[in-house]
Chains A and B, each alone.
Chain A
Amino acid sequence: MAKHAWKEKAIRLLLRVSASTSILIVILIFVFLGKEATPFVVEPGIDELCSTRWMPVSFQKESFGIVPLVTGSLLVTGLATLISVPFGVCAAVYIAEVAAPWEREILKPVIELLAGIPSVVIGFFGLLVLAPLVKLLFGLPSGLTALTGALLLALMAVPTVISISEDAIRSVPESYKSASLALGASKLQTVWKVTVPAALSGIIAAVMLGMGRVIGETMAVMMVTGNAAIITASPLESVRTMTATIAAEMGEVPFGSDHYRALFCVGITLLLATFTINMVAQGVLKKHRIG
């Protein structure tokens, strides 16, 4: 074989190995989270995890029930989604279909700017500006509530929702719109009755991907939700999410303790939750592109 043929083969192999690192990392994530978490599942066991009290440091008996953390995450995520959908979808439709070109040129970078603000800065802003506002508006003893966290998270989900919805809206064939306009529908009627329904699956995927981002968000939520590990459905109470629990407690636990392993269990739960949401969203998105 010619010399250059060997070189080509070597390069191809090298690139292929590089590409496979992504697979390796995914596998290693599952392996290492599992490795640190499994001893807990063996002893004290799954039942302990499923209990309703998270009390990792206690003079009597520690308790590692992740239910309050899961409900905390769900409450904040659900609220954030509810808030971000109208804003995100309206803004996406506006930017994609209604705004003048010069307006779009300004709006898009501004939204991208929002996506670029570090979450700790958003959290800091929430702590100093939003929390006092919530406290004042609802007459609460403390502004660190699920609602405060949800508002911040909604803000952080909005760029994702907008950019993916906008792609979906733009991918609706021009012929649909012309057909509607030709029937005498106005531009806005066309947008809401033809374009948005045609892009619906893409928009749903956008919202789900936004949710995936929200449920995994750590810093902002940790700074403003008050971190009380209680089970509640009230947006005006303090909650503690899975992410905040890991971030706040991992620094202080002894390696290999039950508490340490329980935090890895929380990590796995979180990973599986985001994994599922993202997979479903990707599935919806793929269907949208084919359909």
Chain B
Amino acid sequence: MPVVTPEPDLKQLEPKVRVENLNFWYGATQALHGITMDIPARQVTALIGPSGCGKSTFLRTLNRMNDLIDETRLEGKVLIHEEDIYADRVDVVALRKRVGMVFQKSNPFPKTIFDNVAYGPRIHGVRNQEKLAEIVERSLIRAALWDEVKDRLHISALELSGGQQQRLCIARALAVDPEILLMDEPASALDPRSTARIEDLIGELRRLYTIIIVTHNMQQASRVSNVTAFFYEGRLVEYGPTKRIFTQPRKKQTEDYITGRFG
């Protein structure tokens, strides 16, 4: 069943993340050129474009995961609630707590299911067992995994199927109560059925979180997102309501990509 995607008007939506003239370099190679965009709150924003277009790099600038790579440089501003996350005094750790991330390849820790979900809350100081159990249950319910694992929370997460592992990673990210959820091709390694479950889940989560998802798969972008940004060679080419982008692209490159002329 396709997720209902209401048509938003970007101008009227409350912006959650504002990106202003963002440039990014790996060493001497510039990966992002002057990106400016407002990402709306409590919507699903899809980032599409051919491989190497900078969409994943862009996603990782939003929780400063690129800081981990040596010799990278960034110019411009990323504002979350009007606060520049690249300002000097920003606490990266607190930022990453607010901006959760789900990776392309599911990366459950080699611990039990319970410990995976409880990892974040424990790091942030939750010690009370009842409270932890409550958080784990709530997160697993939200990630639509609870019914499948509630009787075996103490088996290793590595024994779950690929699709379940990815939902576990989503639950793990939800357990620290983020406001924004970044997803880097979360379904690219999954079979169609698991992919459908993840897509349904994204539709559910939209009510609670601001979701930004990188995807290779245009059908997926049109199914799950209400806003779409098309990246090409490190530039933001076109940005608008998903339906409009897919039915009446304004730029030639967008149209070529969507109609499958390159990619």
Tell me if B208 is interfacial: C-beta within 8 Å of chain A. Answer: no
Residues on A with beta carbons closer than 8 Å to the beta carbon of B91: 2, 5
Tell me if A61 is interfacial: C-beta within 8 Å of chain B. Answer: no
How many A residues have CB within 8 A of the partner chain? Answer: 4
Tell me if B93 is interfacial: C-beta within 8 Å of chain A. Answer: yes
Task: Give chain B nearest CB distance to A23 CB in angstroms.
Answer: 22
Residues on A with beta carbons closer than 8 Å to the beta carbon of B94: 2
Q: B92: nearest residue on chain A (CB-CB)?
A: A5
Residues on A with beta carbons closer than 8 Å to the beta carbon of B93: 2, 4
- Which residues of chain A from 223 to 248 have any CB-CB distance to chain B below 8 Å in the complex? none
CA distance A30 to B94 in the complex (A): 48
Task: Give chain B nearest CB distance to A4 CB in angstroms.
Answer: 6
Proximity string of chain B (88-112) to chain A, C-beta cutoff 8 Å, 1 when within and 0 when not: 0101011000000000000000000
CA distance A4 to B92 in the complex (A): 11
- Which residues of chain A from 135 to 188 have any CB-CB distance to chain B below 8 Å in the complex? none
Proximity string of chain A (94-137) to chain B, C-beta cutoff 8 Å, 1 when within and 0 when not: 00000000000000000000000000000000000000000000
Residues on B with beta carbons closer than 8 Å to the beta carbon of A2: 91, 93-94
CA distance A2 to B94 in the complex (A): 10
CA distance A2 to B91 in the complex (A): 7
Residues on B with beta carbons closer than 8 Å to the beta carbon of A4: 93
Q: B94: nearest residue on chain A (CB-CB)?
A: A2
Task: Give chain A nearest CB distance to B209 CB in angstroms.
Answer: 25
CA distance A50 to B206 in the complex (A): 84
B residues neighboring A (CB under 8 Å): 89, 91, 93-94
Q: Which 6 A-B pairs have the closest CB atoms?
A: A2-B91, A4-B93, A5-B91, A2-B93, A2-B94, A1-B89
**Subset of 6 A-B contacts with CB under 8 Å:** A1-B89, A2-B91, A2-B93, A2-B94, A4-B93, A5-B91
